[in-house]
Structure 1
Amino acid sequence: MLITTASRALFVLSFSVAATPTSFAKSKEPFANLEHSLRRTSEAQYIGDLDVIRRRGVLRVITRNNSSAYFVARGAELGFQYELAKAFADELGVRIEFVVPPTRSALIDTLLAGGGDMIAAGMTVTSTRAERVHFTTPVTSAPRVIATHPRTIKRLTTLEDIAQFEIALSFRSTTLQDARNIEAQIGRRLRLRDVSNDIEMEEMMRLIASGTYEATIVDRDLVDLAQASGVEVAARLDVSPPHDKAWAFRQGSPKLHARADAFIRRHRKDGLIRILYAKYFRPESPLAHTARETDFRADNHGALSPFDALFRRQGEMNAIDWRLLAAVAHTESRFDAKAKSRYGAEGLMQLLPRTAKEVGITTSLLEPGANIKAGARYLRWLTERFEADLSAEERVRFALAAYNAGLGHVQDARRLAVASGRDPDVWFDEVEQALLLKMNRRWHENTTYGYCRATETVAYVRNVQAQYDLYVKYSPLAP
């Protein structure tokens, strides 16, 4: 897994069209070594209730990076907890930001320290935890079972049979109490092996499948997820009643907690939670198979798409961060190499054939290599159309806007920025606002290129920004 905390206490993911990004690393070449380009992080710690969240416009969700909560695959954000929390943020009318602490045991501490506003991580409700946080109505519930390899599951028919196995679990997890309860029922000690509390349960089941460990105690729904993802693991014997899993909030956030609780109650009744659960946890679910496609699980290997090698090659050829090219392609086509728009744009980077010809590409744009080469050349060409004394980050953002709307509209917008008292050298909140004026006849009649579908372009640049934020977090600049 590529998530690290290094010198930072938290790992923060942000993605929203409303995000305000930080700047690029300065460089002489506009696309060279853009490790910090189009990148934003938010590590501010603060505590507040629903009114503070609405005022700030962001809901910070503390979670875990795994197949049951949140993961990135084929360049997109996915996960049961991700989708449910995103729906909640949309209901509140705010953007969402995900915070991943270095360990599962740090979830509550991060919340109480103000590093996030809520926990959505499949956290088991316990009386001890309930003394520190307020839980919502359960999101899901699942009994605990004994999980082992399919080859050995036939040895497991009664509780007494559990004693045959060495049970791997963290002595700091709630599964230890389940083991003690089994011991009390069968009247003998179990062979327990303490493992790191940092090991996610999905990783534990892969270790069981590989033979590293014999067995473990785990929630049945996580076994369902592992099996749906192709992991060779089997389960038998409910060793506990269903454990509730819920969202958690600070005790000082009663309004946010109440709103979330109502949200969960409503969607338990209308079926949304059931639908999302089936989407990720059932073997026939396409999303379950996506979760198992580890070649494109960015959190496992740093891969973003099937075309990473092409993005890297053209990034190097054109002095462009390859992850920026990937972000553009995801925003344009969702990595569909055969995509065609009603306006005639084609392929991964959604280029018009005439545009490709202008940068020297005459072969089919439905061929990924040719398409990415044309897109990279065009993006670099656009960047070079803006003054060299502009900061590298603004040249790139102007280029992205031009990639979507056309160079002339961006030039018009910079002139309108001057006329309307804005900074013509800054895209976010300055030139982007001036571009929106080109939807108003009073303004666009006095420009060279006239009306512009500016809202699309404003959203486009922010979407590329957000996607790039995500890719920088998960995938290294160099292979």
Structure 2
Amino acid sequence: MPASPFAHLRRHRRGYLALCALLLLGLVPDPPDRSSGPHLEAIRERDFLSIQTRNTPTTYYEGREGPTGFEYELMRRFADHLGVSLTLDADHNIAGVLEAVREEGDLGAAALPLDPTQPGLLFSRPIMPLQPLLVYRRGLPPPQDIADLVGLEIGTLRGTGTDRVMRELQADHPRLGWKESADMEVAALLGQVASSRLDAAVVFEHQFRLNRLFFPEVEDGFRLGKPLSLAWAFPAGQGLGLVREANRFLGQLQGSGLLERLETRYFGRDNYLEYVGARTFIGHVHERLPDYAALFRQAAREAGFDWKLLAAVGYQESHWRPRATSPTGVRGLMMLTNATAAEMDVDNRLDPAQSIDGGARYLRELKDRLPESITGEDRLFMALAAYNVGLGHLYDARRIVESRGSDPDAWADVRDALPLLQEREWFSKTRHGYARGGEPVIYVRNIRRYYEILAYVDRSQQQFHQLNARLPEEAESGLFDLVPPNS
């Protein structure tokens, strides 16, 4: 029997419904402030915006400087746009976010896929594309297409939109089956692939970009289907005022280019560490760092640093090898010169405890000696650069910055000036002369990335310990629901 001429429409009805809903929403004119609707007026009257979200690296989490994350950045800016404060409830999975928005919240911002078929909800305009991506465990034959996925143990997250894509694919590939979890997050899902409990997973491309350095055992395979759209969710039945105001705000961000810059900041990072040994670093975190973690913690407490930062410095210096020696005679885990060791009262540079303690105190001294006008992370990054290239050359770079009319207290400007110390046109005018000024730039960049990975591992250690403690049968029954093939 020939296929029905409406089969294509039935198969893709959700996509057409979504498109129609977006077109209709775009045709609704933005109302003037005096008729903004009861929901928006209630928010302004109570003076706060209530957000339902999730605690994930791509959405919202507590960073070194406080709350951060791509959608947190948007939430905070939207609250400022409305002139109100912000309250967050992050104790949700995807389904919990949507239910809380229906019942109590002003809006949901939690990497939600735009889905106009969701009952009791309205959605904002698209914020960014969500491209589903198949990733797989290193060592398996690289899957090239959907047919290669049949028979693999594949996992995905329910309610994120990737599960919807899998169901659409199953309509054309009935032998395709997979597992879904409603309670896991992307990092835990990738952990299942890395630990061989799954062969592959379906996540969004930006999520994998953000997490891939933490899971070097997981490879990207190929894109699945067309991109979905990330959007905010609002309760239906309370007027369109808040939705329209959010659309106006998001349109302004997009028009100014700020939305694209935020996407690049959070998800568009380069893969530099891939080329300088991400896999080696992850291996050393597990194999070498445990021998010295207590020493880093003790030295950090006494010097007033985060221990993970000191550990990152130690890795950049020696790869956590206590007997490391450079051709210039710099030695030990923190690679102290003879002069620095003497200044820090270190009599044995090859003793890990003395080296770590001396390096921590030396970094503290460098940071304290910087001008008071340098603050925050700029001060830390310049201290790290001075650890590598010396305070004198750092001051020379600051003078170059000043002569060029830029800000000598901003690391971004000093970072751009440091490589000029390799050029005679510039170093001939400085007090301390030539320096390999490109090295401290790479040095600080590497330490920042090493710290980022260590902070992630430290934050997630308990979660991964609990996951890895499960037997495979318990992991399957407790974490996933099976979606069997259709044939």
Taking structure 1 as the reference length, the TM-score comes to 0.49
Q: Which has the higher helix share?
A: 2
Higher relative contact order (CA 8 A, sep 6+): 1
When the two structures are superposed, what TM-score results if normalisation uses the length of structure 2? 0.48
